[in-house]
Amino acid sequence: MASAALKMDILREVAAHDGEWYWYQLDRRLLGTHPEVPDGLMAAVKELAAAGLIDIRPNPDLGDIPRYWLTDAGRARLAE
């Protein structure tokens, strides 16, 4: 299971770049503050998606690569 701090930082970055970023941008942004990113990023993303906090789907304006979108539940979690 990914750390709560990593998951919250992922939520913050997804909120700031809703529908624009994919795994690579998250990896580059979070690597310096979360040493577990190389092995744990995708697990954290999958946990957030399974919890309904983010959605993973392409952005038609940016191509077929799956991007990350904040859900209403994700917004509520960040507001807590």
The pLDDT score that the predictor gives to residue 2 is 80
Instruction: Please give the backbone phi and psi of residue 5, each rounded to the nearest 5 degrees, phi first.
Output: -65, -45
Residue 37 or residue 13, greater confidence = 13
The pLDDT score that the predictor gives to residue 35 is 87
First-to-last C-alpha distance (Å) of the chain: 21
Cα-to-chain-centroid distance, residue 10: 4
Q: Residues 25-41: what's their mean pLDDT?
A: 91
Whole-number average pLDDT of the chain = 94
Model confidence, pTM: 0.93
- Fold for 4-79, please state it: Arc Repressor Mutant, subunit A (1.10.10)
28-37, Cβ contacts within 8 angstroms, sequence gap of 24 or more: 30/6, 33/9, 34/3, 34/5, 34/6, 34/9, 36/2, 36/3, 36/6, 37/6
Say yes or no to pLDDT of 1 above 80.
no
Say yes or no to pLDDT of 26 above 80.
yes
Say how many CA atoms lie within 13 Å of 71 toward its Cβ: 13
